[in-house]
Structure 1
Amino acid sequence: MTPGEEWIRVELARLQSRRYAPVAIAEFLAVSQRRAGDVRRERPHLGRRARTWEAAGAAAWVGLACAGREPYRRRLVSGLAWWALTSLMLEWHLGMVESEDGEPRNLGPADALTLARAWLAPVIADDLAPAALLAAGVSDALDGPLARAGVPTRAGRDLEALADAAVHIAALRCAWRQERMSRAVVGVEIVRVATGSAYAACAYFVQLRAPNATVMRAGRVAAPVRVAGLIAAGAGRRRTANALLAAGSLASLVVLASDLSRVMNRSGPAGV
């Protein structure tokens, strides 16, 4: 493990030993924030780039709101609050902006695409605009190859998963609220997202290690089909949307179940 991985494992073990009490969680967040501050001081170029991107995201939302564009004006407060939370998550992950063998890196193009996708989550939650969904899907398709073309980082891995989940949950919530799709189909997809999220949470907070990469990639096999379904829903093609999302969700659930079973059988619960 890298020093950063050792640090987080020790802190998570301490949190676990205190049974995730509210006070323990607050102390864990405070310690994480202090470490992020240490990283910014040790690697000022990384901190400057992060702060520049955070300011750019906030300025873009305010600028569009001042120009009268929707939903940016209507969701000014919630949009900025979401971006503040996204920025906080970026700050907490600065210590993980390193290669798998612990070599420090800077934030790169793949990270910019991941953050841009997270920035779109409130827009998609407001309405299933096909343009926003397509932009999110394209950024998702591109950030992986961009990361692999350089040196993938542990922060990029975790931030990508968080951005994907945020955008997908926002889209499903909007589809459910506006009845753009069958609620049964949306429910199946919610089960898929919840299963993957529960596995990741269990790996981090119970097993005290990163989730198995193969399991975490299980949902990507049918991601284009699911995105196409959401775009169809945004375009008002309810029947097509139901068929695409149902097919993508079920295919991903089958792959996820198979990968989970394989990992459990090979390593046992403690080895996941």
Structure 2
Amino acid sequence: MDFRGGSAEAVAALTDELVGQTGSGEAASALADSLFTVSRSLRSEPALRRFVTDVSVPTEAKQGIVREVFSGKVDDGALTVIASAVGRRWTSSRDLPDALEHLSEVATVRSTGQDVERLSDELFSFGQTVQENPTLRDALSDPARSVDDKAALVDSLLAGKALPATVTLVKQSLAGTYRTVSAALAEYQKVAAEVVSEGVATVRVAKPLTDAEITRLGAALQRAYGRAIHLNQLVDPDVLGGIKVEIGDDVIDGTIASRLDDARRTLAG
């Protein structure tokens, strides 16, 4: 999610607060569920959302209303985060529910403890499955199917086979906040990487890299970018040889196909 101005400052401060009070496991998971619930409520109740983001309303009044509305319905830790959130300035009223959803993503990632790498790999794998399976992609995006029906489909595919956090985030991707399920899963991978202070790279290869090659590539990218890089490896039949690395807007194309294209352009010129 892209936050700007006061909203970006608010999200940064709230993330620090969340990290300070959140451990891992069930407590973090409960906090995440509560934040996501409140995010959906604020989207469906525009009058409440406008009230709690109105700079002319005293902070005490805004905190009082959210406690009245959500007390007993959400995790106590979530209520503390929400009270802090409504006391901050937001560039747009819609940024508040987006921010709470983002915080729920962070809490879900933190609930995995030492399994963040596995979570990232599972999100990437499921995202590739969705992209490569038109039937599944259509089933998850079909507006005629209820979210509960789609969630049941996710359970049938992932329950008992993936981390609970993976299942939670895949179900959360069905909410429609992001343009597509695939876009949501890609965003969740970025959140997971940020939690462990990593970058994310998609590595396209003609055949799987060996463990040694992955280690060397990871070390080279870490030196280049100044932080650890999580590698998502994708075997692509369009890659004739070599590798293509995508990190955000950066593309490092060392494939044979790329070199052939360069040669053709040189001859044509």
| TM-score, normalisation: structure 2 | 0.33
Which structure: greater strand fraction? 2
| TM-score, normalisation: structure 1 | 0.32
Larger Rg: 2
